[in-house]
Amino acid sequence: MTREIPVDREDEIKDFIEILSGKKEERILLIEAQSGMGKTILLGEFGHHKPKKIAFAKIDFKSGGTSIAELFSRLRDKLGGNAKFPNLGKELKSILNPSIDIKSNLMLGKNQIDAYLSGRDEQEREVRLSALTDALFADIRTFGKLLIIFDTFERSDDFVKKWLADSFLSRVQNSPNIFIVIGGQEVPEDNFEWECIRRPLEGIPPEHWNKYAKSKGMKVHDEYIRACCNIFGGHPLKVKTHLDGYRVGGTK
């Protein structure tokens, strides 16, 4: 699958392709993996396997600190800008400044979303966020097929996690054109309001590391590679690091 490590993620790629093609009923794919298991590489492969004509956005939370306002703004920017989000713009206009001519003056940005969500109490904020979310989906349901990939879910803001796991995915369930992949060391827990395919990434078996060793010109016995996989549980980064170090140190 990858250009450096011949890891076996064909099952996950097959799931992804069948989800996009409609062969599977689920349209939400959760990829859960500890650090070093090749999750981000796999999500990159999903991007390569998607049809060229499908609308696509990838949001990575690895830097942390992404607020709801920042997330909305990044989705807007990656999916075509203000012109593609008339309902979202109208919702903001109606709250922030009804006198603004939305066609010429309204700049839909993070600061405006922050202002829109700055309700006096939690209940008011939830009501406003729900209206904003409805407007977002009114727009993206017009896109045709749309794929959004979220990476490093565990680094997202707690409020963002809750919104994605509840409001966002429940609306995805009722939006036949939208396909979602969420990856991370942590992913949303199961919810009765949406269906998903959950794929925890497991270790890579010895036969794939045999191929890797041969591709690098290593003379390593199969038993040695099998022992490495047993010690590290097939963990891609740990096995690769060990074999690369072994190649530098000598042959066996």
* pLDDT (tens digit per residue) in 72-86: 989 999 999 889 999
Burial status of residue 99 (CB atoms within 10 A of its CB: 0-12, 13-18, 19 or more): exposed
**Domain-located, residue 234:** yes
* 114 assigned to some structural domain: yes
In a domain, 3, yes or no: no
Shared domain for 79 and 168, answered yes or no, is: yes
**Burial, 131: exposed, middle or buried (Cβ in 10 Å; 0-12, 13-18, 19+)?**
middle
Per residue in 199-237, pLDDT (tens digit) is 999 888 888 888 888 888 888 888 999 999 899 988 888
Domain annotation covers residue 238: yes
* Percent of the chain surpassing pLDDT 70: 88
Q: 65 with 116, same domain?
A: yes
Report yes or no on 92 lying in a domain: yes
Same domain, 65 and 187: yes
CATH number of the structural domain spanning residue 126: 3.40.50
Confidence label for 2 from pLDDT (cuts 50, 70 and 90): very low
Is residue 2 assigned to a domain?
Answer: no
Please compute, for residue 226, the number of CA atoms within 13 A of its CA located in the half-sphere on the CB side: 3
Query: Any residues with CB less than 8 A from the CB of 10 and at least 6 apart, and which?
Result: 1
Do residues 147 and 245 both lie within one domain?
no
Do both 145 and 174 map to the same domain? yes
pLDDT per residue as tens digits for the range 94-131:
776 655 444 443 444 677 778 778 766 788 888 889 99
Nearest to 167 by CA among 133, 119, 132: 133
Same-domain check for residues 142 and 120: yes
Distance CA 213, CA 235 (A): 15
Q: How many domains does the chain have?
A: 2
4, part of any domain: no
pLDDT of residue 176: 96
212 & 138 share domain: no
Is the predicted pLDDT of residue 4 greater than 70, yes or no?
A: no
Give yes or no for residue 41 having a pLDDT over 80: yes
Please state the rounded mean pLDDT for residues 129-146. 95
Domain span holding position 100: 10-200
Task: Tell me, yes or no, whether 35 lies in a domain.
Answer: yes
* HEC sequence for 92-104: HHHHHCCCCCCCC
